[in-house]
Amino acid sequence: MTVSAGLDLGSTTLKLVLMEEGQILRRELERSVSHPHDTARRLLTLVPSGCRILATGYGRDLMEVEHQIPTITEIKAHAVGARFLAPDCSAVIDIGGQDVKAIRLDGTGRVSKFEMNERCAAGTGMFLEVMARRLGYPLDAFKNAALEGSDHLTINALCTVFAESEVVGLLNRGQAREDIARALHRSIAKRITAMCGRLGLGPADRGLVTGGGAHNGCLVAFLQSLLGCPLEPSDSSQFAGAIGCALITASAGNRLASA
């Protein structure tokens, strides 16, 4: 059995990737909603029997307990997945549903240092979802509006809850929705950039954005300009964690087979 599976159980979406001989065979993505375990079980039925599998993400412990699936942290998974998608990358910025991580990789692609958001969801997908809702946009339209907006507004609050109040205030003062959307994107880009700064990431790096945030063109553009390094996301950026898992378990299997 040369197929391996990687499962990334995020807080907002669940991802499954099947790989063989370093090629992606299949990618599946489902929203977690209120029954993540049911969703996970459904995804597991897509995994061929006898296949090696490794899980990561917010919900990985459940996989270990219920299905005896071994787990690794998202940091290791995203590091390996990112190097697969961008073989020379030295920085990975994972913008997920409820957390944000910045990972510095050394020359061989190993994790050398990482930062995560601490007790706060500011700078994560959650922040954007709340704000989009407040402004009356579906998520896709929200990021497109931000691309259209002009730059004269600033959001001061870091906290999602207080920032939402600030947004209401701006709307009441007649500010345009797209301008507010843009300010919100710049705000979280600054926060994420500060996190990257603590790792010493900057213009000399080659970065990859992973996680759901990779599909937000406005956010990626702001990050690129603030950090000064290329951050071109891949089509498979959101699957970086699952890809990393599939690759790691495949290579462990190869080591076992040749032992």
Q: Interface with other proteins by CB under 8 A: which residues?
A: 58, 72-76, 99, 110-114, 116, 118-119
Instruction: Classify 5 in phi/psi space as left (phi over 0), alpha (psi -120 to 50) or beta.
Output: beta
- Smallest distance, other proteins to C-beta of residue 240, A: 15
Rounded to an integer, what distance in angstroms lies between the CA atom of residue 154 and that of residue 50? Answer: 54
Nearer to other proteins, 21 or 118 (CB): 118
Alpha-carbon distance of 256 to 117, in angstroms, equals: 36
**DSSP per-residue letters across 182-219:** HHHHHHHHHHHHHHHHHTT--TT--EEEESGGGG-HHH
Q: How many whole angstroms separate alpha carbon 258 and alpha carbon 190?
A: 47
Q: For other proteins, which is the closer residue by CB, 3 or 243?
A: 243
User: What is the phi/psi pair of residue 138, to 5°?
Assistant: -70, 155
Structural contact between residues 164 and 172, judged by C-beta atoms closer than 8 angstroms: no
* Residue 135: CB minimum distance to other proteins, A: 29
Least spacing, CB of residue 51 vs other proteins, in Å: 23
Nearer to other proteins, 76 or 182 (CB): 76
CB of residue 142 to other proteins, shortest distance in Å: 27
With CA atoms as reference, report the closest residue to 166 among 175, 174, 156: 156
Q: Residue 60 or 143: which CB sits closer to other proteins?
A: 60
Give the nearest distance from C-beta 112 to other proteins in angstroms. 8
CB of 78 to other proteins, least distance (A): 10
The least distance separating other proteins from the CB of residue 58, rounded to whole angstroms, comes to 8
Judging by DSSP bridges, how do beta strands 111-116 and 100-105 pair with one another? antiparallel
DSSP label at residue 107: T
Cβ-proximal residues to 7 (8 Å cutoff; 6+ apart), any chain: 14, 15, 16, 40, 43, 44, 53, 54, 55, 56, 57, 63, 69, 242, 245
DSSP code of residue 48: P
Which residue's CB is nearer to other proteins, number 64 or number 148?
64
Nearer to other proteins, 111 or 221 (CB): 111
Question: In terms of CB distance, is 113 or 152 closer to other proteins?
Answer: 113
